[in-house]
Amino acid sequence: MSTTTDNVIHVLSNELANKIAAGEVVERPASVVKELLDNAIDSGADSIRVLVMNAGRSMVQVTDNGCGLSKDDIPLCFQRHATSKISTVEDLYNIHTLGFRGEAMASISSVAHVNLKTKRVGDETGWEYDIRGGKPSDVIPAATEPGTTVSVKNLFFNVPARRAFLKTDATELRHIIITVQQAALAHPEISFELMDDKESIYKLPASSLADRIAGIFGKPYKASLIPVQESTSVVGLKGYLIDPKMAKKNRGEQFLFVNGRPFMHRHLNYIIQSVYSTWIGKEQYPFYALFFEVDPQKVDVNVHPTKLEVKFDDERSVSTFTRSIIKRALNERFQVPEVGGGVFGEEIQGGGTSGAFSFESGFSAPRDSFANRYQRGPDRAGFQQSGVSGLEIMEKLYPSGGNDDSGNQQGGPDNTNFDNPLLSRHQKPQEKHYDRGRGFWQLHDHYVISQTRSGMFIVDQYFAHMRIIYEKALSSTESGLPSTQQLLFAQSIDFSASDFSLLKEVLPTLKKIGFNIQLLSGNSALVSGVPADLNMGDEKPIIETILQEYQSYSGPVKLSHREKLVMSFASKAAIPRGKKLSQVEMEALIDQLFACDNPFLDPLNRPTTVFIPLEDIHKRFK
């Protein structure tokens, strides 16, 4: 037994305690932006400016025209648990401000270089204060405008492990954009400006909530908003929903607020999504900005380190009320619109929304146990040689019968769509005669079928074309030799701030795929060329869909960022189910499929082909 009398428990130093607190409060540059915005809003400002450098890695600066600080208050601002927001335990259950714990500035200053300039309205001079890694300097006079400017530089300079875990600049900037969006939506009466490396992202004047939504997400949103306003003795709810047809394939535009504070609530989000499910597809997510008004004593905002979650005293009443109001608003405004199919992680009803074809929803046969018993692709070894058609490979794998009268009913040359991406744009297909029993058939405009000596071969046209485009585009990104068709007139496209940030991140890969895109100021870009696999026109929805699907991908196959982007492009460019194909187009599809490295699975490991043995077909008639 140890006989030592040395004490093993000791009080941590303020420096170490602040660094530990920073681990919970300051996760990334966006966390700094959030805390500084909270302070600016609580100061009574009606104009707030946010400037970030290198997505916040180098600097985050927030300037407001609020009440400012006195000389004596400045050092206290950076002490742990020093606050002007609460003073008694009772105040903790009656919070009307965004900040109240008094730990954010201490935490931030412990892992960064912080400079504060402030001046109160009516004071003759302002004040400046520096604190670096928790080590303060003297408060000195400074010439500055009324209000406060806080500059946070070199975040995590003394915690290199935390700095190493930051994501790419584009990812960190998107988190900052979302943080500013939340503050701007909660306070449309305040003007907001956001700049990244001195490039303007948002410049939002004080306005109504509807105008603020349009200013952030684009003018089409304003025309599609559905107002919501209702109250009971327990809770009040107001804000806006969106036309279901504006739903996107990625999350990120769902905003909940309680008493002006943004919060996350899985159950409320689930309720809203479930009500929308009548109008939208499974993997679609509508915009909404909903504001709950609840007695501060009946909602606990102190249950999460970063105050992102809240707990209502009467969760059930709030949930039931929300479902009822959302359902009524949608039912009163809309009839059921058309619903498109998804792409990633789900069965595709009607195939992709191809930019090369008009989408027509069609029959999608389920994969029942009968179909699942059949071969989904034998070993392709020995069929890599050039000059071998897909039909020849099929005949070698599953030899075709010769004289069945149930063959091709078209029997002879057919007319082909020369704009079809299955065919070379510079090669007019030759007329070809298919003898009966050696052609292809299309089942419900979804599947391509060919008989063989020992059974039947079925190809899913959408999955097959996805595989073809995926491998072709992936090869282009590796070789740097994309196939691009120039637009007759370059098209200028406006993006949301978050989409534009994502576009900047993936632009090098998009160019390698075949897009010619030039970034402009003001979240806009000029598109002058698209890949040859896409028909020209509708460049904006094509690019927006690719960005959405790239960002929201959560499929069963682990893909690199490059592969995810190529996957998003392939899902958009592939011919959809429901598109009628000619004999030449079907043959081109099979030829190109069996020229792929992995022709039997699509990029998400779903089967492109199914072989049904003849003996299994015979058994179905016994």
Q: β-pairing, 147-153 with 59-64?
A: antiparallel
Retrieve residue 247's tokens.
């739903």
Would the CA dihedral through 32, 35, 41, 43 be positive or negative? Answer: negative
Could you list the beta-strand ranges (E) of 99-221: 113-119, 126-132, 135-136, 140-142, 147-153, 191-196, 199-204
- 323 shares a domain with 175: no
Cα(85)–Cα(94) distance, rounded to whole angstroms? 11
Q: pLDDT digit string (tens) for 274-302? A: 999 988 888 899 999 999 999 888 887 76
Q: Tell me which residue of 483, 450, 467 sits closest to 595, measured CA to CA.
A: 467
Cα(436)–Cα(596) distance, rounded to whole angstroms? 27
- 110 shares a domain with 35: yes
DSSP 112-124: SEEEEEEE-TT-S
According to the model, what pLDDT value does residue 244 have?
92
- 31 shares a domain with 112: yes
Answer whether 450's CB lies under 8 Å from 441's CB: yes
Give the number of other CB atoms < 10 A from CB of residue 308. 14
Amino acid identity at 118: T
CATH classification of the domain holding 445: 3.30.1540.20
Give, as one character, the DSSP assignment of residue 431: P
61 to 33, 244, 262: CA distances (angstroms): 8, 37, 21
For residue 13, pLDDT beyond 70: no
The three-class DSSP label of residue 64 is strand
- 499 shares a domain with 448: no
According to the model, what pLDDT value does residue 134 have?
86
Residue 240 falls inside a structural domain:
yes
Last residue of a domain, one of 206, 231, 249: 206
Residue 361 falls inside a structural domain:
no
Retrieve residue 250's tokens.
């990625």
For residue 360, pLDDT beyond 80: no
596 to 466, 490, 593: CA distances (angstroms): 11, 33, 5
For residue 432, pLDDT beyond 50: no
According to the model, what pLDDT value does residue 427 have?
44
Cα(1)–Cα(361) distance, rounded to whole angstroms? 78
Helix-strand-coil split of the chain, %, nearest 5: 35, 20, 45
Which position has the token pair 């619903």? 339
For residue 379, pLDDT beyond 80: no
- 511 shares a domain with 451: no
For residue 480, pLDDT beyond 50: yes
In degrees, to the nearest 5, what angle opens at C-alpha 252 toward C-alphas 249 and 254? 100
Q: Tell me which residue of 358, 406, 330 sits closest to 576, measured CA to CA.
A: 358
Last residue of a domain, one of 333, 358, 387: 333
- 246 shares a domain with 176: no
- 202 shares a domain with 226: no
Residue 85 falls inside a structural domain:
yes
Q: Tell me which residue of 224, 204, 226, 206 sits closest to 215, measured CA to CA.
A: 204
List the domain range (segments joined by +) for residue 376. 369-464+580-619
According to the model, what pLDDT value does residue 335 have?
53
128-132, 431-435, 504-508: least confidently modelled range: 431-435
For residue 398, pLDDT beyond 70: no
- 512 shares a domain with 613: no
Q: pLDDT digit string (tens) for 219-247? A: 889 999 999 999 988 899 999 999 999 99
Cα(382)–Cα(374) distance, rounded to whole angstroms? 22
According to the model, what pLDDT value does residue 391 have?
56
Retrieve residue 60's tokens.
């985050």
Last residue of a domain, one of 276, 305, 333: 333
Which residue would you say has higher pLDDT here, 30 or 98?
Answer: 30
Cα(576)–Cα(281) distance, rounded to whole angstroms? 17
Retrieve residue 122's tokens.
């009516």
Cβ neighbours of residue 370 closer than 8 Å, sequence gap 6 or more: none
- 599 shares a domain with 561: no
Residue 1 falls inside a structural domain:
no
Q: pLDDT digit string (tens) for 27-51? A: 899 999 999 999 999 999 999 999 9
Taking the chain, what is the end-to-end CA distance rounded to the nearest angstrom?
Answer: 83
In degrees, to the nearest 5, what angle opens at C-alpha 134 toward C-alphas 128 and 139? 20
Residue 50 falls inside a structural domain:
yes
- 69 shares a domain with 124: yes
Retrieve residue 231's tokens.
């109250």
According to the model, what pLDDT value does residue 68 have?
93
Phi, psi of 255 (to 5 degrees): -125, 125
Q: pLDDT digit string (tens) for 334-351? A: 654 434 433 333 333 334
State the Rg of the chain over Cα.
30
User: pLDDT averaged over the chain?
Assistant: 79
Phi, psi of 346 (to 5 degrees): -155, 165
101-105, 386-390, 565-569: least confidently modelled range: 386-390
For residue 377, pLDDT beyond 90: no
Question: Between 583-594 and 390-397, two packed helices, what is the crossing angle to 10 degrees?
Answer: 70
DSSP 232-265: -SS-EEEEEEE-GGG-BSS---EEEEETTEE-B-
Query: Listing from the earlier edge strand, what are the strands of the sheet with 236-242?
Result: 225-231, 236-242, 288-293, 254-258, 261-262
Answer whether 65's CB lies under 8 Å from 146's CB: yes
DSSP 458-518: EEEHHHHHHHHHHHHHHHHHHHT---EEEEEEEEEEE--HHHHHHHHHHHHHHHHHT-EEE
CATH classification of the domain holding 533: 3.30.1370.100
Answer whether 97's CB lies under 8 Å from 87's CB: no
Domain count, the chain: 4
- In which band, very low, low, confident or very high, does the pLDDT at 332 lie, cut at 50, 70 and 90? confident
Q: pLDDT digit string (tens) for 507-538? A: 998 999 889 999 988 788 999 998 887 777 77
Residue 522 falls inside a structural domain:
yes
According to the model, what pLDDT value does residue 299 have?
84
The three-class DSSP label of residue 613 is strand
- 594 shares a domain with 457: yes
In degrees, to the nearest 5, what angle opens at C-alpha 570 toward C-alphas 569 and 572? 65
CATH classification of the domain holding 191: 3.30.565.10
- 174 shares a domain with 33: yes
Retrieve residue 565's tokens.
């982007």
Q: pLDDT digit string (tens) for 157-174? A: 988 888 888 988 888 999
Residue 357 falls inside a structural domain:
no
Residue 348 falls inside a structural domain:
no
Amino acid identity at 220: P
